[in-house]
Structure formats: structure tokens, C-alpha cells
A and B are shown apart, each in its own frame.
Chain A
């Protein structure tokens, strides 16, 4: 019996020892195709994130072809339904069995974090195209992000509000990590600018009805309310906001732009008009590049691209450019080095990768929801240029 147990333990130990070794070997065995393991939530509540990114990558590859530096690009798409356990398993399979050269995607923060140690062990770049918590890029030297951090938009809207005559703010945020992040960064910058938080309400994540919370907001009579709810709930929130007459009592809605995602806007109805948010991308961004991007995306997928689509588009662009720079070499360290400091013009405006943090540096725009040609758009009216992530731990 003892013998058996010991043998089993040995076996486990051997497996455990072999695993990182296996991972490390795989990317070196380069063949002609470059494989990108794309892990996205394609089903479940976050599915719209996954679909946007997947669409954008398809679009990019249609436009730019599927060969870079003499090597063919192959995307292997896996659905993790935003469950971190799945993400980890899928990332492992992709690295060990499919021998991918990149892992990319990651709809939510826990998913990106679950894959981080694997990227480190396998020494392959992990391109984060959606998840938005600041700590992510600190978890592995192989993580590069093309989406955004919540701190970028939340601090900017805090600064903007304090400077634009908003004195008293009530906050309504969903009670989960991104919601709390958004709240804290906003609070820091808004109160530092002289503003006052008169009411702070955290809404449960699975919240059926906003009525009582909104009534509380109304009774505390703020100049504006700062809102962060998960993308899907934004529409419900705005409808109930109008139903309760908060729009008429002069309480403005401000927040980070996630709530006003482009692919949800037309569902919200006119109640949402006038909402001011800070964000990285609007489909109404007035550059020629963006106009072409929006037109091509609409033609291919018959709806409007949102900020997740742009993050995916830039993510695949980053991979293409890094490969060009290394001349097709898929060594993880060389690729990440190639990505550091890279600058380019994206549909969202000029962006770059911070060489120190491997996080994205981008313009944050203050936008107001307006009706343009019968459709609702976030119209940008003020730009904060080249915003780095303010949420990184101070060193």
C-alpha cells in the first residue's frame, strides 16, 4: 500500500516537473505557420465581447491578408464563457497540444489572470484584448494589453467633472472588482479636484430592479450621478433613470464609457441622451481611418463596432507588426521587446504600448450622447491626450 502511494506520488512529481519543461519547449519548435490561440467568451453573459473581438480579427485578416513576414497566421478560437477555470485549461491545451505562439483575447480580468502564469512559463506573449483591471500587466512580463484600464477612464471623468461645475456627485456602481475600481479611481480624482460625494450606493451584480437605488439617488439631490454597471445592464438602468424622472430633475449621468458601449446604444432609447462619459473609443470618432473601419465592420457584420472590436483590431495589428519587426521570429522575448514602445494610428486615435508597463497609452475622450442621423452616438468633445494607466502600483 505504502509502496503504491509512493509510486503515485513520484508519478505526480514527475508530471509536475515535466509540465513547465514541456511548455517551454513548444514555441521553439517553429514551423511555417504562426498560431494564435484566441480565448474569448463566445457564450454566456459576456458573449458580445467575444463576438466583437472575433469579428474585428476576421476583418483585419481579410483586409491585410493572412501572411506576415513570410509566415502564415492561423487563429485557433476557443470559448471559455468567461469562466477562469476554463481559460486556464484552454490556455494549457493551446500551449501544449497546439503549440501556439501567442495567446490572446480574455474577456474578463479573472480569465486574463488565470492565463498569466502559463504565459510566463511558456515564454509566449499574452495579448489582452478586453479585460480592464490595472494589475493584469503586472502579473507576467509577457502580457501586453491593447484594450484599456478602468482607471484611465474613471480618473479622467473625475478630473473633468470637478473642473466643469459639478460639485456634488452620488455614485451608483455594481459591487464587483471593476465596479469598485471605477468607484475608487473616480472618487480619488473627483474629491482631489474639490468635489464632494454625497451618496455612495453599491448595487448587487445580479440586480433585478434599480428602482430603490434610483429613488435614493434622487432624494440625495446631487448635481450628477456617477454610474458603472456591467455592459448589459446599462440599457435597463437608463430606462429606469428616465422613468423616475431623474433626467427632468437635472441630475446628469456621468461615468466611464463601458456603460455606453456602441453596440448597446440604439437599444437605450432617447432617455440616455446627454449622458457624459470618458472612454477610449466611439464609433463616431471623426478620423478617416475610423470611418473606413466602421463602414467595413458594418458591411461585414451588419452592426456597429464597439470599443471591444477596436481592442481586438489593434491586438491583431500589434501581433502582425511585432512579427514584421522580428522578421517572423516567434521567440516570445523578442516579440514582447518588439511590442514595447510600438506606436500606431488606430481607429480610436493614436495609441502606443508603454515600454515600462506593456500597457496601452491612449487618448481618453469626453463624449456626450447625441442623436446623429437618427441614431445614438457618443460624440467626442474633449480629448485628454496620451493617458497612461494611473492605476499601476507606484514603484
Chain B
């Protein structure tokens, strides 16, 4: 019984991590209709920023996390203004080619600067080990992930639903022309949203180094997982990818525990079944845009 709960918890933590990593992609793909395969590169940037700050400059882990967010967001905004902006109106194929090129450049650049071996972030002792909660083993680090990601999800949902910025964003997505007519600065809203998505990816990258491992091939290795989350969740809201991440995280962990021979395929099976059942994802929009 205890191990069932431990597995459930591990699955939730894994899912939460996937969500933070992928929700930026849900925003760019779903809200801005831009296929950004280079999303993982921003996650990797965040991971390396955190690793350098903690390991080389001696920053405390919790102080480095916000900087991983800010650093990736800054890189995001620079690239958005310099490069991405020009491709918003181009076809999806151009966007795919451009962003995959960016992925390879980032892989090569990080390999050159940081070396190809895996990087670990030195964690404070308080985050190591497990705590025993009524006989259920709960990893401290994973608990922290659940807390941080849970709070982030709430905050995102509130921002989108309740703030002025949220309503502007939704308006800009629903009908950019009308939104411009109403005096909303649509490019600015998009730029900000893009940067925020990159920041979240960066934070996710920093958090995931411990669990997924951080090396220059990160953006390639995990691209498929981000895409699965977004396809399964549907890309019209935050709730969809969130539930999809949880579902996939739990299914993946449970699959690997109970049927280790089938382990790696469970996540794909779940994806296929859901997409047959709901081709637009769990919360996809049925109308074509």
C-alpha cells in the first residue's frame, strides 16, 4: 500500500515538472500559434544558469532559481525581438525549420562552453533524502517540486483569468485585429508572454536537473515529452496541459513500476488512446482557428 502512494506521489511530482517545462510551449503553440521546437533550449539555459550560479559562484539554490527564470526570460525576449518576431506570419514549416536550427545551435554552443558531460546542481542538505509520512516515503526534493509547481499553476491560472494582462492576452489571441483596434499593444503582449513562457521553461530546467539530468542534449531528448504534453492537453488553456502532465507523469511512473517490461511505452500508449478519443486533446478547441 505504502509503495502505491509513494508511486502516486512520484508520478505527481514528475507530472508537475513536465507541466512547468511544457506550459510555456502550450502558450506559444496554443495561444500564439507558433511552433517553437526550441522550447527545450530555454529550459536548458535555465538549468545551466542555475548550475553555474550554485556550483561556481556559490549562490544558495533557492536564490538561483529565480535567476534561472529571469535569465531564460531575458534570453527569450532578446530572441523574440531579434528573430522569432519575423516568423509569426510565416508558415509552420518555416517555424519548425527555424526553431529546430536554433536547437542544434544551442546544443553545439552549450557543448562548446560547458562540455558534454552531465552537470549536477549542488543541493542544500535540507532537500536530500526522504521523509516518512505515515509509512509513505516522500522525497524532499520532489515535495519541493510539487509545492513550487502547484503554486505556479495557481498563480498562472489567476493571472490569466483575473488580471487585466490576462484578459488582454486572451483578447489578443482570440482576435488580434479587433484587439489592436481596441488599443491593445498585441506585439508587446505576445513578447511578454513569450518571455514568460521561456522563463517558466528555465525554472523547469533548473528544477529538473536533479531528476532528468542536465546535459547539452537536453532540448533534443525532452522535446518529445513537451510535445506530448501539449498535444494531449490541448493548447487552448492552462488546465489542459496541467491535467495532461499529471496524467502522463502518473501513468509513466506507474507503468514503469508495475510493468517494467512495457515501461517506456506506457506514456505513448496513453497519448495514442487519448488522441483517438479526443483528437484535439483533452481540452482542445473543436473549431479550427
- Chain A residues with a Cβ closer than 8 Å to the other chain, count: 35
Q: Is the CB of A236 within 8 A of B260?
A: no
Query: Which of A43, A207, A215, A240 interacts with B116 by CB under 8 Å?
Result: A43
Query: Which of A45, A212, A219, A240 interacts with B211 by CB under 8 Å?
Result: A240
Q: Is the CB of A213 within 8 A of B256?
A: yes
Contact with A along B249-260 (1 / 0, CB 8 A): 000111111001
Q: Does B210 contact A (CB under 8 A)?
A: yes
Query: Which of A212, A233, A235 interacts with B263 by CB under 8 Å?
Result: A212
A249 to B213 CA separation, bound complex (whole angstroms)? 25
Whether A235 contacts B264 in the complex (CB less than 8 A), given A209-B14, A244-B139, A245-B130, comes out as no
Whether A242 contacts B118 in the complex (CB less than 8 A), given A201-B260, A213-B256, comes out as no
Q: Is the CB of A213 within 8 A of B260?
A: yes
Query: Which of A211, A236, A269 interacts with B118 by CB under 8 Å?
Result: A236
Whether A243 contacts B129 in the complex (CB less than 8 A), given A208-B225, A209-B212, A211-B14, comes out as yes
Q: Secondary structure at chain B's binding surface: helix, strand, loop or mixed?
A: helix
Query: Which of A207, A211, A235 interacts with B120 by CB under 8 Å?
Result: A235
Within the complex, what minimum Cβ distance (angstroms) separates B145 from chain A? Answer: 12
Cβ–Cβ < 8 Å partners of A45 in chain B: 116, 215, 217
Within the complex, what minimum Cβ distance (angstroms) separates B253 from chain A? Answer: 5
Q: Does A369 contact B (CB under 8 A)?
A: no
Binds A, one of B2-10, B81-89, B176-184, B191-199: B2-10
Q: Does B222 contact A (CB under 8 A)?
A: yes
Q: Does B174 contact A (CB under 8 A)?
A: no
Cβ–Cβ < 8 Å partners of B253 in chain A: 209, 211-212
A366 to B217 CA separation, bound complex (whole angstroms)? 33
Query: Which of B111, B215, B221, B260 interacts with A202 by CB under 8 Å?
Result: B260
Within the complex, what minimum Cβ distance (angstroms) separates A127 from chain B? Answer: 24
Query: Which of A212, A239, A264 interacts with B7 by CB under 8 Å?
Result: A212
Q: Is the CB of A204 within 8 A of B130?
A: no
Q: Is the CB of B120 within 8 A of A212?
A: no
Q: Does B42 contact A (CB under 8 A)?
A: no
Q: Secondary structure at chain A's binding surface: helix, strand, loop or mixed?
A: helix
Q: Does A216 contact B (CB under 8 A)?
A: yes
Contact with A along B117-145 (1 / 0, CB 8 A): 11110100000111000000101111000
Cβ–Cβ < 8 Å partners of A209 in chain B: 14, 211-212, 252-253
Contact with B along A207-248 (1 / 0, CB 8 A): 111011101101100000000000011011001101111000
Q: Does A98 contact B (CB under 8 A)?
A: no
Within the complex, what minimum Cβ distance (angstroms) separates A211 from chain B? Answer: 4
Contact with B along A247-270 (1 / 0, CB 8 A): 000000000000000011001110
Q: Is the CB of A233 within 8 A of B213?
A: yes
Query: Which of A201, A232, A239, A240 interacts with B117 by CB under 8 Å?
Result: A232
Cβ–Cβ < 8 Å partners of A263 in chain B: 117
Q: Does A44 contact B (CB under 8 A)?
A: yes
Q: Does B261 contact A (CB under 8 A)?
A: yes
Q: Is the CB of B221 within 8 A of A206?
A: yes
Cβ–Cβ < 8 Å partners of A240 in chain B: 211
Within the complex, what minimum Cβ distance (angstroms) separates A132 from chain B? Answer: 19
A301 to B225 CA separation, bound complex (whole angstroms)? 37
A323 to B238 CA separation, bound complex (whole angstroms)? 68
A45 to B119 CA separation, bound complex (whole angstroms)? 13
Q: Is the CB of A232 within 8 A of B118?
A: yes
Q: Does A166 contact B (CB under 8 A)?
A: no
Nearest 3 CB-CB pairs, A to B? Answer: A212-B256, A204-B264, A212-B257
Q: A45-B116, A233-B213 are in contact. List 11 more A-B contacts (CB 8 A).
A: A211-B139, A215-B6, A215-B10, A215-B257, A219-B3, A232-B117, A233-B118, A236-B213, A242-B128, A243-B128, A245-B130
Interface residues of B (CB under 8 A from A): 3, 6-7, 10, 14, 111, 116-120, 122, 128-130, 137, 139-142, 210-213, 215, 217, 221-222, 225, 252-257, 260-261, 263-264
Report 30 cross-chain contacts, Cβ distance below 8 Å, ordered by A residue: A43-B116, A45-B215, A47-B111, A48-B116, A201-B260, A203-B263, A204-B263, A208-B212, A209-B14, A209-B253, A211-B14, A211-B253, A212-B256, A213-B260, A215-B10, A216-B257, A232-B118, A235-B213, A236-B118, A236-B213, A239-B210, A242-B128, A243-B129, A243-B140, A243-B142, A245-B129, A245-B130, A267-B117, A267-B119, A268-B120
